[in-house]
Structure 1
Amino acid sequence: MANTMAEEKDMDYSRALITILKGVVDKRTQPDIWNIIKDNQPRMEEYVAQIGLLLYVDDNAGYAYVKQNDDENLPRLVPRHQLSYGLSILLVQLRKSLGDFDASNGDSILVLSFEDIKLRLKPFYPAATNETKFDNEVNRHIKKAVEMGFLSEVYGQADAYEVRELIRSFVTADWLQRFNERLQDYLDFGSRNAEEPSEENALDF
């Protein structure tokens, strides 16, 4: 009996470890995995450190993930995700909106509609952009942000999205500085029908 329980705990641990190595764990949507991580946090931290990773757990916001320890001279296990022009703009606007919201709303959550998001992105696209094409592109970037855990759909509200706290950990001051270095290219693209900024210089995580 004791051996069976130990085997089940080891299986749960392995399942949680594999899950977090594949991406972000959200307490709200993955409570079982979250609890296993919390119960085994020191053990998991020790394991991932051996392969050049850091375990990050935010108890207040309710998410956990692993990231590469850049101080270690090891091959990269966590791949960098190159961000398109539109997705970079979206993430910056979401982070800015969250900061502005924090200053006046305390512990409330920030919910943006599809139209709210469109308004924030509009200045960064040429005025001549076809409206239907623009809507489709914004929708594509929103879906990607949901997939990455930065937005979540609000139950019972059509085209409404909660801006998740996770975005603070990725859209950092250093990341924003890199964005600002490319800002003129982005503004040039938005002010006229210029060529979209090169993907070779795209931001990443």
Structure 2
Amino acid sequence: MLEPEQDATASMHDLSSLLIPLLKGVIYRDADTALWGALLDLQARVRDYVTVLNLELVLDEAEGYAFLRSRPENGDDSPALPRLVARRPLSFPVSLLLALLRKKLAESDASGGETRLILVREQIVDMVRVFLPTGSNEAKLTDQIDTHINKIIELGFLRKLKPVAGKRDGQATAFEVQRILKAFVDAQWLADFDARLAGYQAQLGAAAGSADD
């Protein structure tokens, strides 16, 4: 049996082993079940600790992910605290692709199919193509979308899988849409999705027109 001092040291080690990966990024249940179990056991202590850092723990047991984000501002006259988790401004095309992936995820959930949403590169290109002006350069379009896909992988919303059998080129690059995307693009945002897409399409058309001038 551990002495009180030893027990406190062991507990602090458990807390540290949770806080370090959380400060680095997202904890997924499927990636490390032991770490996930420890987080569920110690989540109250984690919440108390990160509050001091002006952060809050977002933990979704159903979807199996957890991460830290900055706490909402109070709206009073108190001085704003520095942000430990920086905001990342996204380019317009990346924002559009994230919105399309989120809608695809919602459609997949509504169909009652697989919990994992896996798309091949060709499907992602087709999703974006319909919002671009007719006659867009196909090779340039594909290169640009590859750049946006890589950015979304970097943000943690897509995971690249091993190539799978494709219909056109034999092997197609596949991606899994990470369910944590639901925490960043919420249901209320999706409710206004059609109106937002009209604005997106107009902006993309204007950007393409400027590039051709």
TM-score class, shorter:
0.7 to 0.9
CA distance in 2, matches of 1:143, 1:30: 24
- Write the deviation string for residues 4-53 of structure 1: whole angstroms up to 9, x where unpaired: 67535423421320221222212222444323322311100111122322
Structure 1 residue aligned with 2:202: 188
Match of 2:25 among 19, 23, 26: 23
CA distance in 2, matches of 1:131, 1:176: 29
Structure 2 residue aligned with 1:85: 92
Q: Structure 2 matches for 1:115-154, cutoff 5 A?
A: 115-154=122-161
Tell whether the 8 Å contact from 1:27 to 1:62 is kept in structure 2 after alignment: yes
Tell whether the 8 Å contact from 2:103 to 2:190 is kept in structure 1 after alignment: no
Structure 1 residue aligned with 2:53: 51
Shift of 1:119: 0.6
Structure 2 residue aligned with 1:170: 184
Tell whether the 8 Å contact from 1:101 to 1:110 is kept in structure 2 after alignment: yes
Structure 2 residue aligned with 1:202: none
Q: What amino acid is the match of 1:48?
A: V
Tell whether the 8 Å contact from 1:123 to 1:191 is kept in structure 2 after alignment: no
Match of 1:109 among 101, 106, 116: 116
Q: What amino acid is the match of 1:194?
A: G
CA distance in 2, matches of 1:29, 1:123: 35
Closer/same/farther in 2, CA of residues 168 and 116 from structure 1, 3 Å limit: same
CA distance in 2, matches of 1:190, 1:123: 11
Same amino acid, percent of matched pairs: 36
CA distance in 1, matches of 2:193, 2:84: 25
TM-score, length of structure 1 as denominator length: 0.80
Closer/same/farther in 2, CA of residues 135 and 181 from structure 1, 3 Å limit: same
Structure 1 stretch displaced more, 70-79 or 50-59: 70-79
- Tell me the secondary structure at the aligned position of residue 129 of structure 1: coil
Long gaps (5+) in structure 1: 197-205
User: In the alignment, is residue 62 of structure 1 matched against residue 64 of structure 2?
Assistant: yes
Shift of 1:77: 2.2
Structure 2 residue aligned with 1:98: 105
Aligned residues: 196
Q: What amino acid is the match of 1:129?
A: S
TM-score, length of structure 2 as denominator length: 0.77
- Write the deviation string for residues 95-142 of structure 1: whole angstroms up to 9, x where unpaired: 111111222234542211111110110123343433222212211222
Q: What amino acid is the match of 2:175?
A: Y
Tell whether the 8 Å contact from 2:163 to 2:173 is kept in structure 1 after alignment: no
CA distance in 2, matches of 1:67, 1:14: 18
User: C-alpha root-mean-square deviation of aligned residues, in Å?
Assistant: 2.8
- Write the deviation string for residues 64-91 of structure 1: whole angstroms up to 9, x where unpaired: 0111221445332221111111111111
Structure 2 residue aligned with 1:161: 175
CA distance in 2, matches of 1:22, 1:40: 18
- Tell me the secondary structure at the aligned position of residue 101 of structure 1: helix
Long gaps (5+) in structure 2: 75-79, 165-171
Closer/same/farther in 2, CA of residues 31 and 101 from structure 1, 3 Å limit: same
